[in-house]
Structure formats: structure tokens, C-alpha cells
Amino acid sequence: MNSQSSVVSHQLVPEKQRAGQIATKDTLIGKRIPKLDAPEKATGLARYIEDMKLPRMLYGKILFADRPHARIVNIDTAAAKAMRGVRAVITAADIELVPFGFGQDNTALKKDKVTCTRDEVAAVAADTPQIAAEAVSRIRVTYEDLPVVASTDEALAEGAPVIHAKTPDNVPFQFDYSHGDIEQGIRESDVILEDTYTLGRQAHCCLGTSGIIAHFEADGRLTLHSLTQVPFLYKNDLARIIGVAPEKIRIIQPPIGGGFGSKLDIHPFEPICVFLARATSRPVRLCFTREEEFRATPTRQPMVIHLKSGVRKDGTFTFRDVRMLLDNGGRTSWGATTPWISMRTFSSLYRVPHVRQHVDVVYTNNIYACAFRGYGNPQATFALESQVDSLAEVLDMDPLELRLKNAQKPGETTGQGMVLGTCGLADCLETATQHAGWGKKRRNVKTSKRQNVAAPNQPDRTSFSRDPMGSASTDLSSHRHIAHGIGMASLFHVGGGAKIYRSDGCGTILKLDDFGGVTVMTGSSEIGQGSETVIAQIVAEELGLSISNIRVINNDTELTPWDVGVHASRTTFIAGNSALRAARDARRKLINAAAARLKRKPDDLDLRGGKVVERSSGEPLESIGKIIRGLHFGRTKNELVMTTDFYEPPSTAPDKEQKGDISACYAFGTHVAEVEVDLETGVVKVLRICATHDVGRVINRLGIEGQVEGGIAQGIGYCLAEELKVEGGRVCNPSFTDYKLFSTTDLPELDVSFVETNDPAGPHGAKGIGESPLIPVAPAIANAIYNATGVRMTELPLTPERVLAKLKEAREKETISD
């Protein structure tokens, strides 16, 4: 265990570490604080976008192409326009078509051609949602169907149909990365493995579906009630598309029912709603149904990853050579850039001297993908951690030992130039495996392979518990067709923001009223991740106030200072630092004022429990409110306590080779999964997951446990069930009946623990956590399945049918080789 960090699990209090520093102070940091927005959400009082109505508001509805690849010959809107209650019908002919999206290959409405079923062709604004829906159904579009490119293979085939004329080879983007020398790595390897991993299409499934309200004020200003998770970038990008100056756009965010990366892009429905508002001179609301949400919002990138990696006999990693193929779909969002993050895992999860990665992003006529919690990292980690497990197997080495051997130590710089100031990877590996009982539970697959993979044709009847009167649907776990296994996987991710743009900062404006009430205006948005509570906690801690004294304003670009957005697990770190610094300034002002008033030295004073107290004894001297009023209504001088801060993290944007210290600190974690595999049905049951994360420092224990548990739920879903099926470009399962999420009642036992490395750059030592918990779940489960069955799963999701087919294939191979 590394000496600079301490392992804290569950209730073990972090206060201990700070005991010398603030012995008498009751700290809020690390406590279990219920989310500030929990009461209104739990009681149904939260007003989501669908609950909002503006005077004279109309309802928008979009006509989607519903064909994967076709030329638009004619659009007849006459019947729709003739309907009573219809206020506007627009097509591409009615608007200025400004290209947008990462590939500049999208427009709000499509003019000549549709390249995926979700392409927006026309839109209606009407008095009621029913009229709008009816009007959309009366729009007649004449198409000339074009050959459909349904997969990356088809897109890359000789003579494949061209999807976008400016990209004749259907490959709009390629990403390359390397450090070291692959050939040397190959020469130095004793074992080299090569595998192909196929990753499916996961949908974000935000419980609040997409929506927006666009409203032009009388003076031409535009107010948008939008669910974006990047309000300031959005304002700028949208301005160009809709032809409104950015300074005339105000973004107000109602409570957001989940983001997970889905709201990092501008989606066509948003400018469409603005165009409808402009066409009607009335506010327009446009909200998706659940079915539209499945059909017409982007997903996680489906990827095929070809990974070749090597290791020396002693377990030292030598090289990784990666080729990735992304199904980009028919348009390009920011999601096309997820390989930027995939490559950081390949280059920097464990020490590896030689790495090369080549990525082809390929157009198809499928629905397109975008950012999704982990941003390419879950896919990379699945491939890498599966192969690390295979390497351990070949070396006949415990997978834990192999990982520990290659885990970086604090202070190392990775091949991609990322400086690991604090690094709790080894501690995470040790803690998670200890909690899981790794040594005891893990069986050696090599020695027991023959017995367990054998087809369970002859059941061991003696092991049945027979209950002649009872139901037979009792626990079958004692039976021979059930195999147990345990597996692990780790992760590497940014923990202190990610400098993608020139600024990765966040601003805070803080003001105190005359009574010690604090308003914190922060640029960072609350999307359910709990940032509001963490910011309130940090400010309350600094000012010695109760958390109920803090009000966080985080949803109105007219009030809040700039922030790059909610992405890259950055909010606790970046917005937390900014809030901390603004609060420190306010604290200084209060302490100095109190010192002058009480004729004490500032260093002798502290703020606790709403009072100025004597630091050493804790004796209350004056209420904070009185100090503020003293400043405000002073005899000689009048002042308010208001502070501002803009925090820019000490990170650097990557260079042309994608190298550089992109984040102010880095996050690590290890998950150990225990599973039961039904060898006859292929059903995988996850029994337990032990998750340990290096989070720097826990700020809100309740919130961070929730983040980890939620990430695991999404990760199990990604691994076992979640797949938006797209066949011939068409979505097959656009409902929760057929798209399976793992909800709370489906979850296994979870053991969540934290390694606290106290990163010097983090607020109170904290690093980011948002995305991390999802990332290692799938490979941990797949490795556990391998441990149970001796069969390697390389394609997600692991539906019972897919698992059974793999088991059967392995059995058949065994039989042949016998």
C-alpha cells in the first residue's frame, strides 16, 4: 500500500486525517448530505420542461424521415397547413441551412437527402400536441430510396454507396496516436495476444426525455428553456445556426432529468424549435415522447476494437497496438471524438512503453452516436482489461498480481504525457480484491477447465433439494449447471477536468445577504449528478454556515458566470475549486472585519456554526450576520460581502500528437465482480460488485455512493442487456419493454469503497467521479464469466442467447480437439 494515501471505506471517517488541523471543528466534508433538490424531486414538485407552460405557447412536433437513406423528391405540406390549429409548418426550404455538428454534416432540417431514419424533414407548431402530431402525419414526402449502408463493413466495401458527397470513402475522420516503438515492443514480448472486441449501442435513457421551449421577447432577444449540459458553448454554437447574436440568447435550464453526455451536442430539434417560434412569433415547446427519444437521439458509439498486446514472462507489459472502427451513423456529433479518450486508456492504464492506435470513423446509414458517460473509455477498457486477463491466463499469473506489477506509482508520467501526481491505482486494486475475498474465491481456470466447461448433460441429481409439496422454482444455485466466477477490471480517467477547449474553467459569483444567507452563482449545471449539493457543502464549510443557508443558482446564463459545461467528470473538481476560492475570499473579508470589530488577530478567529469564534477554544464571539451588517451599515464605510472567482485548472491542451497533461489530476478505480453463469440457459447473474475508487477525497459521501451505484447499474446494463438494436438502419426496440435497463431492484449486492489520495489540486483533495464507476463494470463481469466458464466473452451485451452460443462454440471446439 502506498504511503501517501489512505484507504477509506464506507463509514471510516476522513476527519481523522485532519484531526491535528481542525480538532474542534465539525466538518461537513465527507458527510452524508442529502441532495438539495431531493425533496422537490421526491415529492413531484420539481417542474420539468414538460410541466412548463408559457402564455400563448404552441407545441412543436417533428417529422422524421423514417428511412435510412433516400433522396427527398418533394415535400407536400398543404394538408398539414390547412388544419385548424396549425400555426406553422416548416421544411428546409423555409430556413437558412447552416451546417453544424463536429463534422459540419448536419442541418436543422434536411434538404436534398436523408442519411438516417432520424433525419428531421419537417416540423409543425400547433395549438395542442394532438393537432401537431396529426399535422405531422399529414405531411407527404416523396422519397427516392437509395441503397442502405447498414454496417461499417458495408460502408468500407468496394463500391459502397457514398453517404456524404464530400466523403467519398465514407471515412470522415481518422485518429492516430503513438508513443514508443511498436516493433521494439513486439521484439521484447514473450507473449503476444490479439483479439477483436465488439461493443454495442447503448442508449442514454435519460428519464426526462429531450425537450426545449423557445421564446422570442418583444425586443428580439431569445430565451431558451433548454436541457443542455453545456449552456455557454451551446449559446455560442446555436447563435450561428439560428442567426441570433449570442449575447441576445439567454439559456435557462429547468431541472434536467439526466444527461450522461447526451446533452453535450446541439441537436436538430433545438434550432427547429427556435425556427418554429420565429415563424409563429409565439413561444413553442418541443418535447420528445419516449419512442422519439429512442429513435431520434444519439447513443453510445458501437465500436469494433482490434487489440494486440504483449508482455514479458515476468509480467511487464511491452506494447499495445490498437485498431478501432467506429460506426458513426449518418451524421457526426462530438461523439466521433471519443477515440481521444479511448486512446488515453490504451496509452496510460498501467505502465506500457510502446503504444499505437489507429481509428477509422465510418459513416453508415444508422442512427448516430454522441458522448456518453465515459466517452469512449468503457469500450477501450472492455477491450484492454479483457486482454490483460487473457495475458495473465497465458502467463499463469494471478490477474491481480499482473495488474499490480504494472500499476503506476504517484509521480509517474505516462507515455501520453499525463502526470500522475496522486495515483491510487495499486491501492484500489488491493482494496477492491480484499473486500471481494479475491484469493479465496478465484478458481484457477487452467486446472479446472476440463471439468467445468463440459456440457452439463448429466445433472448431479443427488445435489437437488427435494421439496415434494412445494414449488419447484426454488434456488437452483447448488446445481451443476451453475458456474461461479470472480473477475476484476480497473480504470483510468481524467479527474481534474479535461482541457479540450482553450479554457476548461468555471466561474463563481458569491454574495452574502445581511443575515448570513449565501447565494452562490456557479457556471456549472446540475444534471442530477449532485454538483449543487457539493458546491453548497464546500461554501458552507468555508463560511462556517449551515448548508441550509446556501442557495445555489446554476441554471441561467444571464446570472451565472461562464463554465465549459458538465462533461469529463469535472464539476466537483473545477466548479468546486472555483466555489472554494470565492468562499475563501468572502471568508477572509468576514474574518478581517470581525478581527477589526473585536480587536483580535485574524488568525485567532474562525467561522463555525454561523458564528465568529475564537479558533483555539471555539468560544462564540459574534454572529456572522452581525459582522456582515457591521460592514454594510458601517459608520464610516459601507460594504457588501460579494466575491467572484474564475478557476482555470493547471492542465494543458494536448499537442498535435495528442500528448500532454490534459487534466489537473487523474482518477483510478477497480471493480471486482462475482457472477453465476447458468450453463444451460446462458443467463448471467451478477452476485456482487466490490468497487473501489480513487476519488482524492470524498466530499458528499451520500452523493458519491449514489454516483458509484448509478454508474454500476448503467455498467451492468451495458454489459448484460442494454442494446438499441438497429437493423437495416432501423431501430427495432424503441421502448423500455424491449430495451432493458437495470433498475434498483435488479442490482446485486454492492460494496463501495474509496481510496483517498488527497490530491493537492482538488478542492479539499477531491477528484472527479462522474463517469468512472461505469467504465470497468463490463470487463469485470466478462472476466468473472471467464473465471466461471473458461470462455472469453468479446461481444457486448452478454445476453443469455449470446453467452449460451459462446459456451456452445467453446464446447464444440473442446470436443473436436479431444
Q: Under the criterion CB under 8 A, does residue 809 sit at the interface with another protein?
A: no
CB of 644 to another protein, least distance (A): 46
Task: Choose the stretch contacting another protein; rule: CB under 8 A; options: 136-144, 260-268, 617-625, 736-744.
Answer: 736-744
Which CB sits closer to another protein, 450 or 725? Answer: 725
Segment contacting another protein by CB under 8 A, of 193-201, 287-295, 548-556, 623-631: 287-295
What single-letter amino acid sits at 192? I
In this chain, which of 175, 177, 647, 742 binds another protein, going by CB under 8 A? 742
Residue choice 74, 462, 473, 817 for contact with another protein (CB under 8 A):
473
- Contacts to another protein from residues 482-521, by CB under 8 A: none
Contact with another protein (CB under 8 A) among 471, 617, 636, 817: 471
* Residue 801 CB, nearest approach to another protein (Å): 4
Give SS3 for 489: strand
d(CA 643, CA 630) in angstroms, rounded, equals: 17
Q: Which of 243, 439, 459, 650 binds another protein (CB under 8 A)?
A: 459
Q: Which of 108, 564, 624, 721 binds another protein (CB under 8 A)?
A: 721
743 contributes a contact to another protein by CB under 8 A: yes
In angstroms, what CA-CA distances link 719 with 100, 379, 588? 33, 11, 50
R_g of the chain, CA atoms, integer Å:
28
Q: Which of 609, 804, 810, 814 binds another protein (CB under 8 A)?
A: 804
Whether residue 456 has a cis bond before it, omega within 30° of 0? no
Q: Judged by CB under 8 A, which of 3, 636, 737, 817 binds another protein?
A: 737
Least separation, in Å, of the C-beta of 293 and another protein? 12
CB of 290 vs another protein, minimal distance in Å: 8
CB of 737 vs another protein, minimal distance in Å: 6
Q: How many CA atoms lie within 13 A of 634 on its CB side?
A: 15
Query: What is the sign, positive or negative, of the torsion defined by CA atoms of 378, 379, 384, 385?
Result: positive
Q: What single letter denotes the amino acid at residue 431? A: T
What is the closest distance, in whole angstroms, from the C-beta atom of residue 815 to another protein in the complex?
18
Contacts of 530 (CB under 8 A, 6+ apart): 35, 700, 703, 706, 707
User: Does the protein bind another protein through residue 367 (CB under 8 A)?
Assistant: no
What type of residue sits at position 339? P
Exactly one of 604, 733, 750, 814 binds another protein (CB under 8 A); which one? 733
Q: Find the part of the chain contacting another protein (CB under 8 A) among 59-67, 122-130, 419-427, 473-481.
A: 473-481
Q: Which is nearer to another protein, 302 or 376 (CB)?
A: 302
Burial class (CB in 10 A: 0-12, 13-18, 19+), 128: exposed
User: What is the pattern of x (binds another protein, CB under 8 A) and - over residues 676-715?
Assistant: ----xx-x-x------------------------------
Indicate the residue type of 363: Y
CA angle, 668 as apex, 667 and 671 as ends, to 5°?
Answer: 140
What separation, in Å, do the N-terminal and C-terminal C-alpha atoms of the chain show? 45
Grid coordinates representing 741 are 435497463
- Residue 746 binds another protein (CB under 8 A): yes
Q: Which of 128, 174, 474, 548 binds another protein (CB under 8 A)?
A: 474
Burial of 462 (0-12, 13-18, 19+ CB in 10 A): exposed
* CB closer to another protein, 93 vs 732: 732
**Of the candidate residues 74, 218, 470, 816, the single one contacting another protein (CB under 8 A):** 470
CB of 367 to another protein, least distance (A): 15
> How near is the Cβ of 382 to another protein at its closest, in Å?
19
With a CB cutoff of 8 Å and minimum separation 6, the contacts of 296 are 62, 64, 118, 120, 269, 288, 367
Nearer to another protein, 404 or 804 (CB): 804
Nearer Cβ to another protein (404/687): 687
Stretch of 225-233, 300-308, 425-433, 466-474 lying at the interface with another protein (CB under 8 A) = 466-474
CA-CA-CA-CA torsion sign (593, 599, 605, 611): negative
From candidates 453, 720, 778, 793, binder to another protein by CB under 8 A:
720
3-state DSSP of 108-158:
CCCCCEECCCCCEEEEEEECCHHHHHHHHHCCEEEEEECCCCCCHHHHHCC
Cβ distance to another protein smaller for residue 104 or 735: 735
Q: Which residue has the cell 495473465?
A: 392
Instruction: Please report whether residue 198 would count as binding another protein according to CB under 8 A.
Output: no
| Residue 106 backbone phi and psi in degrees, to 5 | -125, 150
Q: Are 122 and 75 in contact (CB under 8 A)?
A: yes
Joined together, the cell numbers standing for residue 396 give: 499463469
Q: Measured from the CB atom, is 290 or 484 closer to another protein?
A: 290
Residue 462 lies near another protein (rule: CB under 8 A): no
Q: Is 463 in the site for another protein (CB under 8 A)?
A: no
Give how far the C-alpha of residue 174 lies from the chain's centroid of Cα atoms, to the nearest Å: 23
625 or 800: whose CB is closer to another protein?
Answer: 800
Instruction: Specify burial of residue 801 (Cβ count, 10 A radius: 0-12, 13-18, 19+).
Output: exposed
Least separation in angstroms between CB 740 and another protein: 4
Exposure pattern of 142-156 as b/e (b: 16+ CB <10 Å)? ebeebebbbbbebbb
Q: What's the sign of the alpha-carbon dihedral 108, 109, 111, 116?
A: positive
Closer residue to another protein (CB): 20 or 468: 468
Which one of 221, 551, 597, 740 is in contact with another protein (CB under 8 A)?
740
Specify which residues 191 forms β-bridges with: 311
DSSP structural state of residue 231: H
Q: How far is the CB of 604 from another protein (least distance, A)?
A: 57
Interacting residue with another protein among 9, 289, 592, 644 (CB under 8 A) = 289
Task: Mark the segment that binds another protein (CB under 8 A) among 234-242, 300-308, 369-377, 725-733.
Answer: 725-733
Q: What length does the chain have?
A: 818
> In the complex with another protein, which residue's Cβ is closer, 398 or 680?
680
For another protein, the closer CB: 566 or 721: 721
CA dist 580 and 577 (Å) reads 5
For another protein, the binding residue among 99, 725, 728, 815 (CB under 8 A) is 725
* 634 Cβ neighbours under 8 A, 6+ residues apart: none
CA distances from 129 to 59, 268, 290 (A): 5, 19, 15
Residue from 353, 630, 660, 800 touching another protein (CB under 8 A): that is 800
* Shortest distance, position 365 Cβ to another protein, whole Å: 19
Q: Return d(Cα 200, Cα 725) in angstroms, integer.
A: 9
Binder among 462, 469, 603, 655 for another protein (CB under 8 A): 469
Q: Give the residue from 499, 508, 502, 452 showing the smallest Cα distance to 480.
A: 452
Binding to another protein in span 114-173, by CB under 8 A = none
Q: Sort strands 518-522 and 550-553 into parallel, antiparallel or unpaired.
A: parallel
Which of 613, 632, 635, 593 shows the shortest CA–CA distance to 515?
632
Please work out the total of residues on this chain that contact another protein, with binding judged by CB under 8 A. Answer: 39
Candidate residues 454, 747, 750, 810; the one interacting with another protein per rule CB under 8 A: 747
The residues binding another protein (CB under 8 A) are: 289-291, 459, 461, 464, 466, 468-474, 476, 680-681, 683, 685, 717, 720-721, 725, 732-733, 735, 737-738, 740-743, 745-747, 799-801, 804
